[in-house]
Amino acid sequence: MTLAAAQPVTMLPSVDDRHRDPRHYPHGVAFMDGQYLPMSEAKISVLDWGFLHSDATYDTAHVWEGRFFRLDLHLDRFWGGMERLRMKIPYLREEVTEILHNCVALSGHKSAYVEMICTRGGSPTFSRDPRQSENRFIAFAVPFGSVANKEQLEHGLHVSVSETVRISPKSVDPTVKNYHWLDLVKGLFDAFDAGGETALILDENGNVAEGPGFNVFVVKDGGLRTPAFGVLPGITRRSVFDLAAETNLKAVAEDVSRADLSGADEVFITSTAGGIMPVTRVDGAPISDGTVGPVTKRLMDLYWKKHSDPAWSTQVSYP
């Protein structure tokens, strides 16, 4: 079925037009209301519950050197999130896959950050009954971005641990990817105030949880540990477990205390936006000798090699 490809495509703005746009939208392509649009034209109503109440779920995949990485796992999580939030979209999974591929192909980006979103939408009568809302599907592809820049990838990030507590999983299901980020944003400001480059925040039991858009791993005596409670089970986190199994590294999900973090042999974070990224300082103090460790380097190398593996990636067909 080629429903997605059959929709009208709005011409993208020229480079000069984009430079004149004071909002500096990234050069990319979005899909909304059955058509493909430049990013500057992709807008939702201010009455959409996704905007008013953060009532939405989403997932973000990436394309590297013209290939989607583990897209099926992202689609699994997106569909699971919609089911748990009682949302529905008018597209089959195969159609969404085609839409995402089309966004990338039309954008021309060989390395891209690709998002699929379902918002609660709004009620025609402005009702507060979520059952009366018309759910909306949006997708887009923009240039690939990373949590860590080139220098940080080479020498490691400086992470600060904020006392901010992650939203309780008793309130918001952390396995459903969502936009409830005020705790993470507060953690970021705390980290910046303390001289850090990014943040980790705590779970309700005082253990390390996660950061803004990433999971964390500690390496100790050759084994890997990552927080299990109150965190999003990231796809890159899952990839680390898969790589560990392939290379006979022990990896477990369990509580990680602040002492475990500062006393680790190595620390790294994981995200679709950047992959596996080293951390060499926590709260101003070096981790081990303050350099990127051998386990982290090995996993980083294996992770990027998997991007050309057909078992882990799928080719985008560009026009």
Where in the chain do CATH 3.20.10.10 domains reside? 150-307
What pLDDT is recorded for position 215? 98
Q: What is the CATH number of domain 15-143?
A: 3.30.470.10
What pLDDT is recorded for position 131? 93
What pLDDT is recorded for position 126? 84
Global pTM? Answer: 0.91
Question: Mean pLDDT per 10-residue run, the chain (319 residues)?
Answer: 43 42 76 95 94 97 98 98 97 98 97 98 90 96 96 98 96 96 98 98 98 98 96 98 97 98 98 98 98 98 98 96
Cα–Cα distance measured from residue 52 to residue 241, given in angstroms and rounded to the nearest whole number: 37
Which residues fall within 8 angstroms of residue 97, CB to CB, at 6 or more apart? 71, 75
Where in the chain do CATH 3.30.470.10 domains reside? 15-143
Structure tokens at 155: 């020498």
Structure tokens at 87: 């949302």
**Computed over its alpha carbons, how large is the radius of gyration of the chain?**
20
What pLDDT is recorded for position 180? 95
Cα–Cα distance measured from residue 53 to residue 122, given in angstroms and rounded to the nearest whole number: 11
Q: Which CATH class is domain 150-307?
A: alpha beta
